[in-house]
Amino acid sequence: MIHPNADDQMTVRSVFVVDPDKKVRLMITYPASTGRNFDEILRVIDSLQLTAYHQVATPANWHQGEDCVIVPSVPEDQLAENFPKGYTEIKSYLRYTPQPDL
């Protein structure tokens, strides 16, 4: 991708993550003067894969193996069944659980 105001000699670097259904799940654009952060790209792909299969979200700076946030739409009566490893409730809308797929 080339930004319309970019210098002809320097391009803008964009990263796109597209899911199997051909939906764009992530777009990150870096200026030509800044390198891409591959650790962050891999972290986001891990998060997208996890959250696609489990009713969780990942907090800022989350990494593989760390606790996840249970999405608020999970009713309280389904928590024990859906999250057998347990959970910690901070608020009714903020519940942490160990990463479900480990």
pLDDT, tens only, 38-68: 999 999 999 999 999 999 999 999 999 999 9
Q: What is the pLDDT of residue 31?
A: 81
pLDDT level of residue 33 (50, 70, 90 thresholds): confident
Q: Model's pTM, two decimal places? A: 0.81
CATH entry, 55-102, from 3.30.1020.10, 3.30.230.30, 3.30.70.3040, 3.40.50.2300: 3.30.1020.10
Instruction: State the amino acid at position 69 in one-letter form.
Output: V
pLDDT, tens only, 63-73: 999 999 999 99
Q: Which residue in 9, 1, 101, 89 sits closest to 51, CA to CA? A: 101
Give CB contacts under 8 A, 24+ apart, made by 72-81.
Answer: none
Instruction: State the amino acid at position 93 in one-letter form.
Output: Y
What torsion, rounded to 10 degrees, do the Cα atoms 73, 76, 80, 83 define?
20
Q: Where are the domains of the chain?
A: 55-102
Neighbours of 38 (CB within 10 A): 9
